[in-house]
Amino acid sequence: MELPEALILSQQMEKELVGKRISGIEVVNPKCLNMPFEEVQKIIKGKKVTSVKAKGKWLFISLNTHIILFNPGMGADLLYFTSDSNVPEKYQIKMEFEDKTGFTIHVSWFCYLHLVASENLQDHKRTAQLGMTPLDESFTLEYFMDLLAKKRGYIKSFLLNQKNIAGIGNFYIHDILFSAKIHPLRKIPSLTREEIEALYHSMQTLLSKSVELRGLRYERDFYGNRGQFNEEDYFKVGYNSGLCPVCNTHVQKIKTGSTSSYVCPKCQPV
């Protein structure tokens, strides 16, 4: 889950959950919590959902006095159910409401489910340090240029750092850089104004398009529907054929720090 999928989920969850009171919660592995399970259960029971928002890869489920913060880690399915008869079979977390509806969370590996008092949200380190997202209204070209000013690292590492920009992960980053014709190992000081502008517009265009298409095809929304952002819409078409969709040059897989990158050596020169 990256920014587009988190935004879609937050919109759907807000539509279905706002105004409902929590009747209970199940957590299979309490390691994902930031406090004892019994304390979480005691605090949230009977609380009403007031809003659901997304920032980066985090979901903020606001209650009367507290906020539930969820991060899917390496991936998760959050699925809504309307009665006991259609509860998903596999899950690590289940939240139920007084009207018998609820949702489950099935994670790929690990996740974070943290509960904080609303007045202490700024003290939650993992979310307080998040940068602005590329789809925030205040994320202007001028802001992006100021963000890059005097930075010296690799552009891919910078974009993936959630403290700089929240919401971009190792899926969309390939296409963002490819569309802007920028190699992931380009040093930030080497980027021209024109390249920075291209990168900015690439982020805006790609992420907005994914939101319009309801996210990646292998991700599911709150109702279990798959996204429509598929191979025809992103550079990963070159992963399978091995050829760049623009110039037909062989796509290269290279190591970039702790992650791998797919690049076209012709379209994205170092």
DSSP 69-98: EEE-TT-EEEEEESSGGG--S--SEEEEET
- Angle in degrees, CA 106, 110, 111, rounded to 5: 75
User: What per-residue confidence (pLDDT) applies to 259?
Assistant: 87
Residue 236 has pLDDT above 80, yes or no: no
CB 167 within 8 A of CB 210: no
Report how far Cα 36 is from the mean position of its chain's Cα atoms: 26
Domain definitions of the chain by residue range: 3-128, 141-222+231-263
* Per-residue pLDDT band at 238 (split at 50, 70, 90): low
User: What per-residue confidence (pLDDT) applies to 242?
Assistant: 82
* Per-residue pLDDT band at 109 (split at 50, 70, 90): confident
pTM of the model: 0.93
Residue 138 has pLDDT above 90, yes or no: yes
Using DSSP, state whether 189 is helix, strand or coil.
helix
The matching CATH number, chosen from 1.10.10.10, 1.10.8.50, 3.40.50.300, 1.10.287.610, for 141-222+231-263 is 1.10.8.50
State in Å, rounded, how far the first CA of the chain is from the last one: 29
User: What per-residue confidence (pLDDT) applies to 237?
Assistant: 44
Q: How many residues does the chain have?
A: 270
User: What per-residue confidence (pLDDT) applies to 258?
Assistant: 86
Mean pLDDT for 50-76 is 96
Mean pLDDT for 76-94 is 95
- Angle in degrees, CA 192, 198, 200, rounded to 5: 105
> For residue 193, what are the β-bridge partners?
none
Architecture of domain 3-128: Alpha-Beta Barrel (3.20)
Mean pLDDT for 121-143 is 97
Q: What is the DSSP letter of 104?
A: E
Mean pLDDT for 228-244 is 70
